[in-house]
Amino acid sequence: MKNKENTGRLMWFDFSDSENILINSHAEPELFYVLEGEADVTADEDKIHLEKDDFIVSNANRPHSVKGKNDFLSGFIHMDYKKICEYMGNGQVFFICDSTKENQESYEEIRKIVRRIFGKYFERDGLALIRLDIFFHQLLAELIGNFQIFQEHPKYKSLYGSEDERRKNYVAEYMENRYMEKVSLADIAGALYLSETYFSKYIKQKFGMTFVEYLNEIRIRHAVEDLLYTEHSLTRIAMDNGFSNAAVLNRVFKNKYGTLPSEFKKRKKQARQSMETPHPGQEADKRLMERVREYIQRENTDPEETGENAARIYANTEEQAGFSLCGLIVNIGTVESLLNSMVQQQILALKARLNFEYIRFWGLYSRELYLIVDMEKQKFNFNRIDRGLDFLIENKIHPFIEIGMKPLQIIRTLDDYVLYKEPEITFKTPEEYGIFVKAFVTHCVNRYGESEVAVWYFEVWCELKAANILKYWDYFESAYRAVKACLPKARIGGGGFNMSRDQEKLRRFLRKGKTENTGMDFVSLNSYHYIPYAQHGKEGTMDKKWRRSVDSKYLYNQIRIAREIMEEEEAEDLELCAECAGCEGSLHNPVRYEGRSGDSFRYVL
């Protein structure tokens, strides 16, 4: 059931309650939305289960099929691929958009826009069409802004296709975009640098029909739409759709449908006039139309329109929802970086502009610091660390110190390392580690005073590769007791958990603290922008891979997931310190959050 009112626009939409949609592909991207019931979608090699209000985007020319169940009703929004590519100045635009994979606000925004589009289905006036155009462009902006993928994405190559697939797609798109013009076999063969003889055989092999037959299939499909939904003359319909005259249209149409276009148009017009519920040019059974109308009325698809004289106010709500920001932290890197005079100048310049409160650094155990003189005799050298700390305190910046044994690592994804190097100094036992931490904190208290050190943060990083959270807990507990023995008001926490992978680790960490009666002052999150997805491996197995998240509010949702877990584990009073890795995995921009504001949080990157 197709909304022909939208033909010629950026998008058009239709509905279906057919529970079996066989494998198909089309020249335009398609957003598939489950209105009622459930659906199992097969797209390429992926199998996706969708429930009410779930949706996915199928890319242009990618095969997919749908099997619905439980009183299934769906909506489809098709997008003009040629216009999208023209907007983006790019010949290929791909999306990865599957609302079942991630929990992010961008999906909810798309749901709101899609409901408004569907809500205009029975409206034909000019104002409704103008609003539809607005909604179409809003939807495209959300998809481009949050779900477009580029060459570095692991799925880009498969979507871009092999050379043969790209050639076939080029032919399909070329003919779909130029069917109304004079199109010849020689034109396309020349554009592909192929001989006419070879290209003619290629068309027959790939499309199952001759060049002329395939071109007429496209033309007749568009001509049928004009017969159904316009009052144009047969001559105009023929000319608008690439036929040389009405006689050619009559011949091709009768060969395919066994009747003349004029007879077809007359029968369909009589059928529409006899329907009890007229609607804008949609050919579908009465039951489907009634279901669509009931859905629109029940779901209140455009809640903004509450009355004829309702005022509409558009506001930027970004400042209304989000995390309550208490103090910005800037990651500076290792202690050695902090000793660099050029880095210090940059810190002061940033301080003047951003007025941040904390500098976070790590790498206490580098051999360059000559930190541990004699572990057995508990002789330590804090001179080089003192130089960095003195600089911070003199400039009224508080330290956020990672005191765990964090390795040197350059990360491609969460489980894929370009470089991984163990820390140069490690401690043999948790007790030995606790001895060092106590000595270090005692030294800081003696040098800078209790009131100053009481506002510092001491973080014990949970090494990403460590599978045993209990082993990590032994070291964390030792550090916790050492810090609190020196200064009970000092803040210590940690984890560096990533909610795309470490949700169970966080739960075990919180539970362990409760059972061991060992508190913590904050939980730290490492929000590296990657999420897991399943990929077909050898012999039909599924391998766990990582792809970059397209969630524009990734950190927001990472913290929301962590907060939900903390509430479930009765640890909601703990402070969260969230670090958001840059999209390229090279820059870190952490933000400290404290307390809560209802169920929403604000974040600033």
Q: How far is CA 315 from CA 28, 110, 526, in A?
A: 33, 17, 32
Least confident of 200-204, 307-311, 468-472, 599-603: 599-603
Name the pLDDT band for 395 (thresholds 50, 70, 90): very high
Name the pLDDT band for 466 (thresholds 50, 70, 90): very low
pLDDT at 421: 64
pLDDT at 416: 59
Q: Quick one: average pLDDT of 121-127?
A: 80
Same domain (yes/no): 403, 539:
yes
Residue with more model confidence, 407 or 171? 171
Cα-only R_g, the chain = 31
Question: CATH number, domain at 44?
Answer: 2.60.120.10
Decide if pLDDT at 548 tops 70.
no
Name the pLDDT band for 401 (thresholds 50, 70, 90): very high
Q: How far is CA 52 from CA 71, 75, 99, in A?
A: 11, 11, 11
Same domain (yes/no): 489, 587:
yes
Question: CATH number, domain at 414?
Answer: 3.20.20.80
pLDDT in tens, 23-35: 566 667 889 999 9
pLDDT at 450: 93
Percent of the chain with pLDDT over 70: 72
Same domain (yes/no): 261, 350:
no
Same domain (yes/no): 105, 69:
yes
> With helix as H, strand as E and coil as C, how does 510-531 read?
HHHHHHCCCCCCEEEEEECCEE
Last residue of a domain, one of 126, 160, 194: 160
In a domain? residue 601: no
Same domain (yes/no): 150, 207:
no
In a domain? residue 243: yes
Same domain (yes/no): 203, 133:
no
Last residue of a domain, one of 274, 291, 309: 274
Q: Can you give the pTM of this predicted structure? A: 0.51
pLDDT in tens, 235-252: 999 998 999 899 999 999
Which is nearest to 561 in space by CA: 522, 483, 514, 506?
A: 506
Same domain (yes/no): 266, 338:
no
pLDDT at 593: 39
Residue with more model confidence, 47 or 105? 47
Highest mean pLDDT among 61-70, 188-197, 385-394: 385-394
pLDDT at 53: 92
CA distance 12 to 18: 19
Strands 372-374 and 379-380: antiparallel
What residues make up the domain containing 192? 162-274
In a domain? residue 302: no
In a domain? residue 309: no
Which is nearest to 235 in space by CA: 219, 218, 251, 248?
A: 248
Question: CATH number, domain at 238?
Answer: 1.10.10.60
In a domain? residue 183: yes
Q: Quick one: average pLDDT of 334-350?
A: 89
Q: How far is CA 389 from CA 45, 147, 443, 458, in A?
A: 55, 43, 12, 14
Same domain (yes/no): 25, 66:
yes
Decide if pLDDT at 165 tops 50.
yes
Same domain (yes/no): 264, 151:
no
Name the pLDDT band for 398 (thresholds 50, 70, 90): very high
Name the pLDDT band for 470 (thresholds 50, 70, 90): low
Last residue of a domain, one of 127, 160, 193: 160
Q: What integer best gives the mean pLDDT of the chain?
A: 77
Same domain (yes/no): 15, 138:
yes
> For the chain, how many structural domains are there in total?
3
Same domain (yes/no): 247, 386:
no
In a domain? residue 293: no
Residue 567, helix vs strand vs coil:
helix
pLDDT at 280: 39
Percent of the chain with pLDDT over 90: 22
Same domain (yes/no): 59, 23:
yes
Name the pLDDT band for 286 (thresholds 50, 70, 90): confident
Decide if pLDDT at 526 tops 50.
yes
* Cross-strand pairs, 56: 32, 98
In a domain? residue 294: no
In a domain? residue 285: no
pLDDT in tens, 173-223: 788 778 888 888 998 888 888 899 999 999 888 888 899 998 998 898 888
Name the pLDDT band for 446 (thresholds 50, 70, 90): very high
